[in-house]
């Protein structure tokens, strides 16, 4: 079941299980050395809507990273409650 988050005034859907996946978080952490891993994690977290979301963010890599962080942080906060 996908969840929604608002980022820069737009709504995005993400998969909470994938957002908290050790494998995906590890891929994101290694993005500097392994961009393919980052993109695989981005695709998994956003349930295949990665290209759509990248376009919505003008293909800005910093914004893509911030969106991924927002999904991970939203799910982490949700898990604590």
Q: What is the pLDDT of residues 30-77, one digit of tens each?
A: 988 999 999 999 999 999 999 999 999 999 999 999 999 999 999 876
| Annotated domain spans of the chain | 14-80
pTM (two decimals): 0.88
Q: Are 20 and 75 in contact (CB under 8 A)?
A: yes
Q: What's the rounded Cα separation, in Å, for the pair 46 and 9? A: 17
Q: Six-digit token pair at 55? A: 């376009």
Average pLDDT (25-34) is 93
Under DSSP, the state recorded for 5 is E
Range name among 1-5, 6-10, 21-25, 31-35 with the lowest pLDDT average: 31-35
Whole-number Å distance between alpha carbons of 12 and 14: 7
């Amino acid at each position: 079941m996908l969840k929604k988050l608002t980022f820069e005034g737009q709504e995005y859907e993400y998969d909470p299980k994938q957002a908290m996946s050790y494998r995906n978080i590890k891929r994101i952490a290694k993005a500097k050395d392994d961009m393919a891993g980052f993109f695989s994690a981005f695709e998994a977290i956003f349930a295949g809507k990665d290209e759509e979301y990248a376009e919505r963010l003008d293909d800005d890599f910093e914004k893509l990273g911030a969106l991924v962080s927002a999904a991970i942080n939203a799910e982490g906060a949700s898990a604590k409650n």
